[in-house]
Amino acid sequence: MNAAEKKAGHRLSCQTVLTGDCEYWPETERESAQIESTSGEYSGPLHPERTGYGIAVDIGTTTVVVQLYNLSTGKRLSEASARNRQIGIAADVMGRIGAAMEGRLEDLRSQITGQIDELTLEACRRAGLDSSLVSTGVFTGNTTMLYLLTGRDPECLSHAPFSADTLFDTEFDFHGISVYLPPCFSAFVGADIACAILYSGMLNSDRTALLCDVGTNGEMALWKDGKLSVCSTAAGPAFEGAGITCGCSDVPGAIDSVRTEDGKPVVHTIRDLPAEGICGSGLIDAVAALLNIGELDETGYLEDDYVLSGKVCLTPSDIRAVQLAKAAIAGGMKTLLERSLTQPEDLSGLYLAGGFRNHLNPKSAARIGLFPRVLSERTRPIGNAALGGAAAILLNRDLKDEVRRMQTVAGTVPLGGDPLFNRNYVDEMCFPED
């Protein structure tokens, strides 16, 4: 890979020489345009840092989304998104930390900064705006993503006691754009969860509530008696469509929901096109349907590949990936509640953030054990809440004080090496019997 290719974060296939067998999955422009954005427009008071135009950016482990705003009106003008280019180096946070420590920090930094530049140009093109008019932004992401964005050595995140040497809450010059990086809570509970909490509004009530961001890193926040408890668990990218045989983001043709009819799963695809893959919400529905019709048992045993529609199927390895992801989320949630002496019945609601584009069926999620069944009627999907919170800060600078206040009332519940979490994780590996 030459210097130009390293800076771009990819290399030309026509210049690549294969020395053995390989598989290639092209990421189409259509796919990259469908990644989850927020669930709604900002409706609060306008008090931006600057006038003109600004961008809100969510740097996810798996996906990156840029939204362009008119700061005078608060109107969202356009957005652009893509799979995080750093996946080519490592799929998860720890893999990227390891790569950075092995000398690839500059590669990782240039990949993400280059990608944000490209997505900003694309968002401006779609809005018919000269990108030079963008003067400010708010970038959110987990702690590792912000380390890599700023080129900061993540060595301190790689080993116990996993103590970050910065939690951000800083201004950052991004190629001439003045960018605010919101505060993180800890090494593995980042600015993305702070922004999601802000977007949910859960701290504006005295009722006990839980927020769960279902992504590659499952991050959770419990608000109870004026205290915020947060934790993070490595869920993997299954619920974002990655690592699943026919997995995809919510593109046209993706199976986004599955219902049971006459003892068989019946699929629905985005835009009612022939099935091309299955996204996160469809995956959860499909597993729940297979459990309901007896094709799948509580241990996760699936006798053979199960065809859902056309060439789209679920394999035994897909089921295992779902079990690992849901055990991490459910185990983390259970541990957070138990450490806070809270029962699921005590929760007034569950805010569910993540890449489901608000299509998640709470009953299906409860059926596979992603969260307790009692919460299926109290669940509120809020989309990409991290991006929604970043946009809110972009449009109202007074909200910086709100995210800073979170740190004063927050306590981190570490799950790494916690025997209670380890036990809960194993217990949650199986699916509920009914």
HEC readout, 68-81: EEECCCCCEEEEEE
**253-257 average pLDDT score:** 95
Name the burial class of residue 22, with classes exposed (0-12), middle (13-18) and buried (19+) by CB atoms within 10 angstroms of its CB: exposed
350 with 372: CB under 8 angstroms?
A: no
User: What is the DSSP annotation of 196-229?
Assistant: HHHHHTGGGSSS-EEEEEESSEEEEEEEETTEEE
**278-290 average pLDDT score:** 95
CA–CA gap between residue 391 and residue 308 (Å, rounded): 38
433, pLDDT greater than 90: no
Q: Quote the tokens at residue 266.
A: 């019946």
Rounded to 10 degrees, the C-alpha dihedral 308/309/314/315 comes to 110
CA–CA gap between residue 345 and residue 426 (Å, rounded): 23
CA–CA gap between residue 177 and residue 146 (Å, rounded): 16
Give the model confidence (pLDDT) of 377-418 as tens digits: 999 989 899 999 999 999 999 999 999 999 889 999 999 889
What residue ranges define each of the domains in the chain, with the CATH number in brackets? 29-192 (3.30.420.480), 206-237+320-384+400-427 (3.30.420.480), 245-313 (no CATH)
Pairwise pLDDT comparison (22 vs 144), residue with the higher score:
144
321 with 241: CB under 8 angstroms?
A: no
* pLDDT band at residue 142 under the 50/70/90 scheme: very high
Q: Please, what is the average pLDDT of the chain?
A: 90
Angle between helices 385-395 and 399-409 (to 10 degrees): 130
Per DSSP, the three-state class of 361 is coil
**5-27 average pLDDT score:** 52
Cα-atom radius of gyration of the chain, to the nearest Å? Answer: 21
**61-66 average pLDDT score:** 92
346 with 208: CB under 8 angstroms?
A: yes
CA–CA gap between residue 157 and residue 128 (Å, rounded): 41
Nearest residue to 107 (alpha-carbon basis) of 139, 66, 147, 151: 151
